[in-house]
Structure 1
Amino acid sequence: MRRSTDYFLSSHGGNLPLPESLSSLLPNAKENEAAIAEELPKAVDWVVAKQMECGVDILNDGEYVKAAHPGTYAAYIFDRISGYSTIDRPEGLEPKRYFTAERDRRDFPGFYESGLWFAGSGGPVRPGFVAPGGGWRGIMDPKPAKIRACTAAVTYHGYDAIQKDIDALKQALIGKSGVDGFIAALGPLSLGAGIHNLHYKDERDYMFAVADCVREEYKAITDAGLILQVDEPEFATTWMFYPDWSVEQYRSHLDFCVEIINHALRGLPEEQIRFHMCWGSGHRPHVNDIEFKHIVDKLLKIDAQAYSFEHSNVRHAHEYHVFEDVKLPEGKILVPGVVGHYTDLVEHPELVAERLLNFARLVGMENVHAGTDCGIGSRVGHEEIVWAKLKAMSEGCRIAAKRMKGK
């Protein structure tokens, strides 16, 4: 990935607003499958142009292929792999773990029972939203009648699908100078860790098979000369799933996670890999998020060149201080979120610059890119706000560069 001592490069978490020509087809995605396939390359051309208008340097395809798979950022992958089935929950099978915000739920039971929150990994609550069933159990039933489980060998067969994604982005980048392209792909933890293994002899064998599976998608992206972003929010959010673990138990678990992730990345060019993690930044208190200082050394063991993470989130905006004590390894790049997806407020460029400078003064300007906390396309209230946030980020990059150079 590019680095510079003259300016701060800017990027984002991946998810971006869709043009009306594509979004209008999605409510009936199955029926409109052929029309969506035809529209997708034109939509990618549009979103690449929009990102360039906003001054984004490392841009993507808007994650449009994932928009046809409503539910979570992970849903798209199940069209590209085999080995998983939806089955009746076996009698006596206990949940593998708690839900996304269990530690917070224990401290704020009234908030979660009210239903006035968002269950997913990111996004604000819109006025009038109430969780189905009147509370968190309406969305996250701990013992559903049906479960998705691993019932056969986990294998990847999505070669044609990922090639279409690659072709659409590369075509949109033809003739565009000064920008680089990235494609986001699901991390092995986010694919496999929450699903019951009913096929492999143990969790280790299962997760290594998952890593082998997702590596096929990763390799297609890097072989095409694009930057791979590995989306792995579970690196931090798993702390919430196991609310009775100590910090040391969690750190031990992360050693296994790093092993799995690096197995998925083995042999791939580190300079084309960006690793994204977050704290599952939904609309909730976040007072029990694992602190960055407890996991940053584990994060830096992942075989990526760049590390994208939440920083504008108010529970984590102070954590640049960890790099007063932690030395960034040679050649690595930090991509802190300098604008957020959890609020419709547009960050001031001066604040963006301040956030960038906090890192640059500790690790060097050439080792810092500007990013967003997570994907912002479906998280904030209107696409106008998304583009305004990206423009504010780019302007903040310019301000920060002038200050780093004493101008």
Structure 2
Amino acid sequence: MASTTIAEISRLDLQDLSTPPVASITGVKHLSSYNWIEAPTPTIAVPGSPPLWSAPRFPRQLKKDSGLIYIAQNAARHPDSPLEPLFRALYIANPLFDIRSIDVVTDRNNIRKLLSFINPGSTRNGLETFTINIEVTKNTAIFSREETATHEFIGPHEFRGFGHEFEKVYTTSQISGSTGHHRIISYRFGDLSFIVRHETDGYVDADTRIPSSNSKEPENDSLSSMLGSLSLSPTNRPPNTTPNTTLAGSKLTIKEEGRVVPIGSTLEIKTRVFHKPLKIQEVAPQLWVSQTPKLVRAYHHKGTFQGPEIEDVAAEIRRWEGGNQRDLRKLAALISKILNVVKGCGGNAIVKYDEKRDKLVVRKVDRKKMLPKDLYSKWDDKDNSEAETNTDHDAGAEMCGIERAT
């Protein structure tokens, strides 16, 4: 895959970018969801369901994680088009959804990586080399994460903690054969409209009482209160209402099974050894990008977990957003800058963090389409279904040259 460098962006360059006065997430909506199913061919269940939080009443000794662990399950199970499940699930839940109104479609992971470039201290492990593939159709940019490895195998003599075993014991799968639940939400950030996909560890039953991390916060200002009242897409069908389907030109099999779980019920699970408490600042960027309002911080002593509790951390996440406006304004400006560069250079590029030079490098590339052919018709005008998808950007390719961020 040949590539040409078209832009380089340093951290210092970000000082000169025009930033919005406020960079906050607004207008959060649940769009769809799905589960990956263990099957001989790529198979998802829509809307699926996250596992239900069902903690044992007494302390439990767990075995350490072992075996197959997914790093990027969408790419591992469907390497031909890791983003196809997002779009299939979206249009099952919302057949008339207007994708042309969206500026960026991305995984949560990509936004977190760009934020880690702006502030390397925002991630626990520091800033590491990363690559994001970008394809623009009409006015919509698709960000596809790229990983050196999409999965790993933990051997019997290796130790990687207890996180996966904890989830097996403390949650109950709601979908037979499920290997992971993915959520698809939309919101505005800065001046852009986003669709964000992310994995969800579980959800809490509506009858469960959860202490708020800030009892003094007025309820009508609470993120979790807002999320809990969101209207849901009409996909709350009985399970197995239709047979499995595979669309022409696609290798993905789709089952309609599960039920919609509101965003306000979703939670993130983190496990730690008891003498290394997890600070909210360490997990806030992840929860912020996906607007996940609930958190379980589970501590263990040599693999024995006591009684972990679910926390409503929505108020803390909102406070984190307010206290990190400098970085978030830069994030909004950086994403806008990347979009402008890629759109002006033909609509196909990769963004790579060059660790040696401590810069983001944008390269124009020539590669195959990210999605099956039929999905591109979603960007076409209703009276022109055969329109070319990238003609809006081809004219700008000739003018593309190496530039510095300004």
Common fold by TM > 0.5: no
Relative to the length of structure 1, the TM-score reads: 0.25
Q: Could you say which structure has the higher strand fraction?
A: 2
Which has a greater percent of helix?
A: 1
Which of 1 and 2 has greater Rg?
A: 2
